[in-house]
Amino acid sequence: MIYCKGKLSGLQALKQLFDSYALNSGQVINNGKSTILSAYISQARLLRIVTLLDFKIGSLPFRYLGVPIFKGKPKACQLQYMADKIKLKLSQWKAQLLSMDGKVQLVRSVIQSMLVYNIPLYSWPISLLKDLERCIRNFILSGDGDKRNMVTFSWKKKCRTYDQGGLNIRSLVNLNNATNLNIKEEYKVILDKYIWLLGDGKKINFWTDSWCGSPLIPSPLSQLFPYIPQLIQQVRIASIDQLDQLLWKHSTSGDLLLKEAYEFKHHQFQELVWVIKEVLWHPPLVNWAKCNIDGASQGNPGSSACIGIFRDHNANFLYCFSEPLGISNFYCAELCAMLRWLEGTMLGLQMQ
């Protein structure tokens, strides 16, 4: 893809460049596959350019290396083809034969990789991203992107890291925000994450810029005077003449990469301590159903809830319940789980 002005001298130089390239390399440009895209020029001038270069006239929108090229702010209809491609990929997988870990790995390695080179170019419509996240969530739970499972979870929580209790899946909304940082709105917050690498000092404000670890003010100068010599002694001054550089504090290279931008937009949560406990489920007798229940409270008393699931002798799902109980203790939570079990049993008998 070559950008140039529509002046006659520039077009003639471009034509000579094409001819010289073909003469020296032996590779001739295919005029049948080459197009001209123009903006705000007359039709007569466009025809003269076509006559000179012998290219076809193209029009917006079009795709270049799989990325849509269009004019103006991105709309959902212009990026819908990418969403449809992801939904088709989800529907083609034999998800019923995969465990939840397998489906999560597919989403991380394939689905999100398909968007890595597309999202950084455009700010995607939020409605389209939420629709994709809904299909991904349904795929992980039920194996079908269009089928919602009866048992669901908070998608925001599952987009956290393993240490924070999530599935280590990137939120597409947060990824979109990270690749399209609004510098104007978040300038002060972003600037706090940077530090100056001292060069010739022409771009640095001695008092307000972070060139020695932290700005010398915003605190009163009387409190900082004892520490100023120590801060300055820690700074390495360049031995050769070079420009000052603004470095991102939280990366080894000093560059603000996509990973650091995502972590900047993604809210950090407290890391959890995982305890692995092996539980073996034994099926009931033939033509019987089995219910597993549990009640718990966070504190005693504290926020509590009860859950339960009914399955037959082939381990097929029959019915489940999950109910928050508010402030209670673990004894009441277990008792409420037993009451819900009785209600579920009576409901099953009535249905038979």
- For the stretch 83-120, pLDDT in tens is 888 888 888 877 667 777 888 888 888 888 888 777 87
User: Residue written as tokens 């999202």?
Assistant: 119
pLDDT at 66 > cutoff 80: no
- For the stretch 46-55, pLDDT in tens is 888 888 888 8
- For the stretch 201-228, pLDDT in tens is 677 776 667 666 666 655 555 455 566 6
Q: What is the pLDDT of residue 322?
A: 86
Measured distance CA(352)–CA(339) in Å, rounded: 20
Instruction: Please tell me the pTM assigned to this model.
Output: 0.52
At residue 315 the predicted structure's pLDDT band, cuts being 50, 70 and 90, is confident
- For the stretch 118-165, pLDDT in tens is 787 788 888 888 888 888 888 888 777 777 765 566 778 778 877 777
* Best CA proximity match to 131, nearest among 172, 91, 103: 172
- For the stretch 283-293, pLDDT in tens is 888 888 888 88
Q: What is the pLDDT of residue 222?
A: 43
Question: Can you identify the CATH homologous superfamily of domain 289-351?
Answer: Ribonuclease H-like superfamily/Ribonuclease H (3.30.420.10)
| Domain locations in the chain as residue ranges | 8-59, 77-179, 194-249, 289-351
The dihedral region occupied by 271, where left means phi > 0, alpha psi between -120 and 50, and beta the remainder, is: beta
The dihedral region occupied by 213, where left means phi > 0, alpha psi between -120 and 50, and beta the remainder, is: left
Q: Are 106 and 93 in contact (CB under 8 A)?
A: yes
